[in-house]
């Protein structure tokens, strides 16, 4: 029988107008050290996001989210930041920012399967 293991996650938000503090949840970052799992699941619903601002550059947002995913996964496409260890990458990605893409506070939990838990959290907070 497998033990439950600690994971951490943050909800990724699109904040089209930072000064208005309105946002749409677009993804979930999840990190589980023991299972060596770190990934970003995201979806960009243009219609829903467009309700907050009409002038969003969705290509730019998609590129930014994909860059975050590559950093999280530690691929070469993620550049120098992707070369950090998993913990450092997750901490960098979830650091507080006043930008178009922001993360919620980091929340802990216990899971049996990090990938399955990640999908459940994505469905709960984003879809």
Question: What CA–CA distance (Å, rounded) separates 37 from 58?
Answer: 28
Q: What is the pLDDT of residues 13-67, one digit of tens each?
A: 999 988 888 999 999 999 999 999 999 999 999 999 999 998 999 999 999 999 9
Contact between residue 111 and residue 4 where contact means Cβ atoms under 8 Å apart: yes
Write out the DSSP string of 45-87: -HHHHHTT-S---HHHHHHHHHHHHHHHHT-GGGTGGGGS-HH
When pLDDT is cut at 50, 70 and 90, the band that residue 1 belongs to is very low
Cβ burial of 115 (10 Å; 0-12, 13-18, 19+) is middle
Residue range 82-103: average pLDDT? 94
Q: What is the pLDDT of residues 94-116, one digit of tens each?
A: 999 888 999 999 999 999 999 99
In this prediction the pTM is 0.93
């Amino acid at each position: 029988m497998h033990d439950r293991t600690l994971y951490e996650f943050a909800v990724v938000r699109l904040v089209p107008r930072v000064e208005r503090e309105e946002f749409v949840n677009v993804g979930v970052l999840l990190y589980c050290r023991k299972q060596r799992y770190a990934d970003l699941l995201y979806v960009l619903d243009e219609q829903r996001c467009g309700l907050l601002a009409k002038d969003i550059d969705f290509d730019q947002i998609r590129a930014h989210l994909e860059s975050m995913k590559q950093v999280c996964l530690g691929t070469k496409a993620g550049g120098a930041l992707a070369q950090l260890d998993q913990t450092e990458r997750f901490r960098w990605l979830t650091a507080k920012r006043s930008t178009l893409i922001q993360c919620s506070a980091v929340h802990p939990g216990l899971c049996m399967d990090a990938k399955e838990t990640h999908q459940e959290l994505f469905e709960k907070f984003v879809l």
